[in-house]
Amino acid sequence: MQRTLTLAAAAALLIAAPVSAQSQSGTQTQTQVRTATGFQGQNALQAGRGQAAVNDALFAAAAADGGLTELSLSQLGVQRATDPELKQFSQQMIEDHTRMNAELKSLAAQKGIALPQMIGYRSQFCAQSLAGLSGEEFDRCYAKAQLVAHMEAVGQFEAEAQRGMDPDVKALAAKALPRIKEHLKMIKPIAKKYMNEKENESPSASTERQSR
């Protein structure tokens, strides 16, 4: 039982961590920094209007990493989830995020924004942690990881849609936001089901599971 709690917490924390700094090479990191710097003048203008702007290049990098991470996790969900709802959810995530990732990649290329080509180290570790689980233990940790990931994504896309500076990047975020909110709406009751089951578990059942 303690192992389940630890892995669930690790999955939630690791998947929710900001990923824009998780570039897989020093060259790519430097490119992202230079690209992001180009947007700072625009950000300062909007901040001067009394509204804190967000950096479009950093949003794009974070969204790209999140999209790649979502595909990695959802593929695990299709393969390992025993809950039919989670399997169906995972397949939907693969379809939706494949399309959204392609749209983001295309726009970033037009804007000269460097995007990560691999998921960050924390997300890799999260995926490895989930890959070591099976059955209901996997379902519980996976559902929680997906819940936290989509809560994080909604916050990112809302910020860009409301306070982004580049009109095209801002429009992309605004277009994707309703679908990401729908994803969050889909995973919430599934994750809540596992949380409620855990809260209602009797001490004797917990002790028996730990002794196995």
Higher per-residue pLDDT: 78 or 5: 78
Q: Would you place residue 200 in the very low, low, confident or very high pLDDT band (cuts 50, 70, 90)?
A: low
Contact 168, 111 (CB under 8 A): yes
Length of the chain: 212
Return d(Cα 133, Cα 126) in angstroms, integer: 11
pLDDT value at residue 17: 43
Return d(Cα 158, Cα 63) in angstroms, integer: 12
Indicate the range of 17-21, 35-39, 46-50, 200-204 predicted with least confidence.
17-21
Segment 169-175 shows an average pLDDT of 98
Q: Would you place residue 51 in the very low, low, confident or very high pLDDT band (cuts 50, 70, 90)?
A: low
Structure tokens at 114: 């460097």
- What are the tens digits of pLDDT across the range 146-158? 999 999 999 999 9
Segment 104-122 shows an average pLDDT of 94
Higher per-residue pLDDT: 203 or 155: 155
Q: Give me the amino acid identity at 164.
A: G
Domains of the chain by start residue, with CATH: 2-17+25-202 (1.20.1260.10)
Instruction: List, in sequence order, every beta strand (DSSP E) within the chain.
Output: none
pLDDT value at residue 201: 61
Contact 191, 201 (CB under 8 A): no
Q: Would you place residue 196 in the very low, low, confident or very high pLDDT band (cuts 50, 70, 90)?
A: confident
pLDDT value at residue 76: 96
The whole model's pTM is what?
0.72
Segment 102-128 shows an average pLDDT of 94
The three-state (H, E, C) secondary structure of the chain, written as one string: CHHHHHHHHHHHHHHHCCCCCCCCCHHHHHHHHHHHHCCHHHHHHHHHCCCCCCCHHHHHHHHHHHHHHHHHHHHHHHHHCCCHHHHHHHHHHHHHHHHHHHHHHHHHHHHCCCCCCCCCHHHHHHHHHHHCCCHHHHHHHHHHHHHHHHHHHHHHHHHHHHHCCCHHHHHHHHHHHHHHHHHHHHHHHHHHHHHHHHHHCCHHHHHHHHHC
Return d(Cα 14, Cα 124) in angstroms, integer: 9
pLDDT value at residue 122: 86
pLDDT value at residue 195: 86
What kind and span of H or E run contains 83? none
pLDDT value at residue 44: 44
Segment 176-205 shows an average pLDDT of 84
Q: Assess whether pLDDT exceeds 70 at residue 88.
A: yes
